Amino acid sequence: MTRPAGILDNALGAVGNTPLIRLSKIAEQEGFKCNLLGKLEFVSAGGSVKDRIAKAMVEAAEKEGKLIPGKSVVIEPTSGNTGIGLAMACAIKGYSVIITMPNKMSLEKEATLRALGAEVVRTPTEAAWDSPESHIGVAKTLEAAIPYGIILDQYRNENNPLAHELTTGPEIIEAVTATPVTSLHASSGKVDVVIAGAGTGGTITGIARAIKKTHNKDAVIVGVDPQGSVLALPASLNTTPTSVPYTVEGIGYDFVPDVLSREPGLIDSWVKTEDEEAFKVVKRIMRSEGLLVGGSSGSALAGAIQWLRSEGKVWAESEGANVVVLLPDGIRNYMSKPWFLELTMNAEPTPLAGTIANILGTP
């Protein structure tokens, strides 16, 4: 599973194989006795967990003879990260790319897509998923009209959850089982809890399958869904109407994608999160753990904390229990966003800023 020591053929060799990192300070601040562990996906070559599915969908389509170098135009509706993964794969392999993406998604994602040579079409954020104006609707219109246009369709493509069942899940299992018990760190020796946000739901579905089928059928899988989305179960949790917009990118939807499994017993529990709490947690992860994670990582950890304080309290109090939180992308995707500027550039001056002003005499 670990990356081979030799030379990689291209950037796709640097997709996935991400580290699992102890979030010791946050666990300590919360009084958790379990091992709180973050799966750090922004170190993947394209900067997110979605590189894995982009690579898998492109390679599967190639095997099926669906892509022709120099001719095929890969079209995909995405919140950006799948698009970046696809644009990276297609730059290497010689396919054109058009990404359709709601207006709310960051400028940084569009800039990255354009850097990789993709065309980007923005769509109204408020358009219902099945309307012709939505990112999904516009992608379909383009596919029908562009010769050799093809949507790989992360919402329905089985290679989306499969990529996580074959890579993300096994990497988590390997990291946990390969870590010895020491006097510093107790360990149950297995993955006990995984907490992840859902957009398409491919990440959580694939990881849940890998862990429950091959490693620990009693593991607890917890989904995180923002207020305003309809993915959480029971549906009574989804009290905020979908017309109320949320700022966090990449998680939550106004429909349930096919790749989000509803198989009973696979995803055990759901928590709902608010933007404000998620963004505060992003700052906490950056300041306490030195990890430059993005907005949905804040949602995932905010959801984890919420769950560990309530329903999952026995796990929080269980020394050596391994609780994994999926951190999907990095803060460099969001540095122009008002929420990021508010947390950093426009934040209250630190005591050290006062000291500097005193020494230098600046206002």
Determine the longest span between alpha carbons in the chain, in angstroms. 68
Distance separating alpha carbons of residues 116 and 40, to the nearest angstrom:
23
328 binds ligand PMP (CB under 6 A): yes
**Residue 313 is among the residues annotated as catalytic for this protein:** no
226 binds ligand PMP (CB under 6 A): no
Residues 60-79, interacting with ligand PMP (CB under 6 A)? 79
List, as one string, the DSSP characters of 320-363.
T-EEEEEE-BBGGGSTTSHHHHHHTTTSPPPHHHHHHHHHHT--
Ranked by CB distance to ligand PMP, the top (closest) residue is: 250
Residue 137 or 250: which CB sits closer to ligand PMP? 250
Applying CB under 6 A, which part among 62-70, 165-173, 178-186, 195-203 lies near ligand PMP? Answer: 195-203
Number of residues that bind ligand PMP (CB under 6 A): 18
Could you give the residue ranges of the DSSP H alpha helices within the chain?
24-30, 51-63, 81-93, 107-115, 135-145, 159-163, 169-178, 202-214, 275-289, 295-309, 313-316, 338-343, 351-360
Residue 38 or 197: which CB sits closer to ligand PMP? 197
296 binds ligand PMP (CB under 6 A): yes
Query: For residues 327 and 302, is the Cβ–Cβ distance under 8 A?
Result: no
Q: Which of 33, 39, 50, 212 is catalytic?
A: 50
Structure tokens at 299: 């949602």
Distance separating alpha carbons of residues 95 and 347, to the nearest angstrom:
44
197 binds ligand PMP (CB under 6 A): yes
Distance separating alpha carbons of residues 328 and 326, to the nearest angstrom:
6
Could you give the residue ranges of the DSSP H alpha helices within 215-317?
275-289, 295-309, 313-316
202 binds ligand PMP (CB under 6 A): yes
Applying CB under 6 A, which part among 2-10, 63-71, 87-95, 191-199 lies near ligand PMP? Answer: 191-199
Q: Which of 98, 198, 207, 232 binds ligand PMP (CB under 6 A)?
A: 198
Applying CB under 6 A, which part among 69-77, 200-208, 220-228, 233-241 lies near ligand PMP? Answer: 200-208
* Residues at the interface with ligand PMP (CB under 6 A): 48, 50, 79, 81, 197-203, 249-251, 294, 296, 328-329
Residues with catalytic roles: 50
